[in-house]
Amino acid sequence: MFLLIVFSLPIVTLIWWWLAHRATSGHAPRLQRGLRVTAALFALFHITSLGVIIGSRVAGVVNPMPAGLLVPSYVWFFLVVPFVLVPIVVWRAAGETMAWWAGRRAKVADVPVVDAMEEDDSPVLTRRQLVLATAVVAPPLVNVIGTGRALAALDDFRIRRLEVEVAGLPEGLDGVRIAHLSDTHIGKFTHGRVLDSIARAANELKPDLTLITGDIIDNSLSVMPEAVAFLKRLEAEHGVWMCEGNHDLFESREGFEQGLKSAGLNLLVNETAVVRPRGIPLEIVGMAWGMPDSRRPAYYRENLKAALATSSNEATTRVVLSHHPHVAEYAAKKGMPLVLSGHTHGGQLMLSPNVGVGPMMFRFWSGLYQVDSTALVVSNGVGNWFPLRIGAPAEILDLTLRAPRTVG
C-alpha cells in the first residue's frame, strides 16, 4: 500500500501537467508556449524533488535540500495531491467517461452529440475552458500559499498551560509542574537553532519534571548526536524522562534505544522509575512502541502490562508516557490516573478545534481529555515531520498537577 501511494504521487502530478497542457490550447502561440513550459518545469521540479527525498531516505541523508526547496514538495505531495489534485483527476475522469458514453449512445442512435459545456457565447473562454483553467491553476496556488505559510511558521511554537486534575493525587504533589514535550522530529525540519530555543523555553518553565513522549528523531540515526545534545540541555529538578515513538524506530529500534541509554538518558522502554518531588514518590511508566506481529490494541495492552510488571509499587500515583494517545483507554482499565501522549500533531491540519485531520484519525488528538477516571494530555508536538500546520500550532505543554477538589 505504501509503495502504491508513493508511485501514484508522480503519476497524479503528470496527469495535472497533461491537464495544464490541454488548458493552454487556443491561446496565442507565445503565451501558449510560455504557459506549457512553466507547467512542465513545475511538474518536473516536484517529481525530481520526490526522487531526491526518496533517495536521501534510502541513503540516510537528513537534509537533502534547503528548506525553501524541500517544503514546497512536502506541501505538494502530502497536501495538494491528495486533497486537491485527486478530486480534480476523479472529476475529469468521470467527465471524460460520461462524454465517451454519451458519444457512444449518440452514435448508436445516429444523433448529433451536443456538449452543453461548449454552448457558451463568451468571446474569451468557453465554460469548459474556464473550469479546466481553474482546475489547473488551483493546485499550484494552494502549493504556493501553503509553502509560504509553512516557511513563515516553521520554527514557531507556543507555551500552552494546562491544569490537570489527577485522581488520587496526594495533597503534597498538588502544584507539581511538568514540562511536556513530544514529537521534536529532529532532522530535516527541526534542527540547529530551533532546538536551542525549545530547550531554553522548556528550562525557563522551571519544571519539577520534564517528560517527553516520543518521536524524538524524525527517522535517521545520523542525527543522534544532535538529539543527545538537545536532550542533555533540558533541565528539571527531578529529571528528564522519555518514551519512544514510531519515527524513532524507523531505522533501527536497537540503535535508537541503545543510543540514548548509553548516553545516560532516561529512556523508559516498558519500564518504570520512581521520582520524589517534594519527597513524595511518583512513578513514571514508559511504554515501548509496538510489538512484532501484533495489532495495535494488543500491543497497547501487552506493553502496558510489561511496563507495570517492573513497578516497585512504592508510589500510589503513576504517570504513563505513551506516544499514542489511545493507550489511555487501556490505562484507565488499569487505574492509571494520568497519561501523557503525542503522535497526533494536534491533527496537523484543522479547520476548527473539532473539524480536520485530528478527529478523522484519532479519538483524542489535542489537549486535555477525561477517559473514565484517567486524565489524558495529548501534545501537538513541538517539531515537524510535515512542515505545514493549520489550527494545530507546535507547542510545549506546561502542566500543573492538581489534587481533586472536594465539594462542600
The answer as to whether 408 is a domain residue is: no
Residues 72 and 146 in one domain: yes
Residue 46 to residue 44: CA distance in whole angstroms: 6
The residue whose grid cell reads 504517570 is 319
* Nearest Cα to Cα of residue 85 among 35, 113, 46, 49: 46
Residues 375 and 248 in one domain: yes
Residue 369 to residue 165: CA distance in whole angstroms: 11
When divided into structural domains, the chain yields a total of: 2
Length of the chain: 408
Predicted confidence at residue 381, as pLDDT, reads 98
The residue whose grid cell reads 507547542 is 395
Residues 240 and 257 in one domain: yes
Looking at residue 340, which CATH number applies to its domain? 3.60.21.10
Would you give per-residue pLDDT tens digits along the chain (408 residues)? 777 888 899 999 999 999 888 888 777 888 889 989 999 999 999 999 999 999 998 888 888 899 999 999 999 999 999 999 999 888 878 877 887 888 777 776 665 555 544 444 444 556 666 667 777 899 999 999 999 999 999 999 999 999 999 999 999 999 999 999 999 999 999 999 999 999 999 999 999 999 999 999 999 999 999 999 999 999 999 999 999 999 999 999 999 999 999 999 999 999 999 999 999 999 999 999 986 555 677 888 999 999 999 999 999 999 999 999 999 999 999 999 999 999 999 999 999 999 999 999 999 999 999 999 999 999 999 999 999 999 999 999 999 999 998 755
Residues 18 and 127 in one domain: yes
Q: Are 344 and 333 within 8 A, CB to CB?
A: no
Residues 279 and 375 in one domain: yes
**Alpha-helix residue ranges (DSSP H) falling in 24-85:** 29-59, 67-75
Predicted confidence at residue 107, as pLDDT, reads 72
The answer as to whether 407 is a domain residue is: no
Residues 59 and 204 in one domain: no
Residues 94 and 148 in one domain: yes
Residues 237 and 303 in one domain: yes
Residues 138 and 203 in one domain: no
Q: Which of 106, 122, 153 is the last residue of a domain?
A: 153
Q: Which of 126, 153, 180 is the last residue of a domain?
A: 153
Radius of gyration of the chain (CA): 26
Predicted confidence at residue 295, as pLDDT, reads 65
Q: Which of 153, 181, 208 is the last residue of a domain?
A: 153
Predicted confidence at residue 116, as pLDDT, reads 43
Predicted confidence at residue 193, as pLDDT, reads 96
Q: Are 113 and 106 within 8 A, CB to CB?
A: yes
Q: DSSP state, 383?
A: S
Residues 187 and 300 in one domain: yes
Strand partners, 186: 190, 217
The answer as to whether 62 is a domain residue is: yes
Instruction: Show the CA angle centred on residue 245, arms to residues 241 and 246, nearest 5°.
Output: 165
Structural domain of 315? 158-402
Residues 148 and 163 in one domain: no
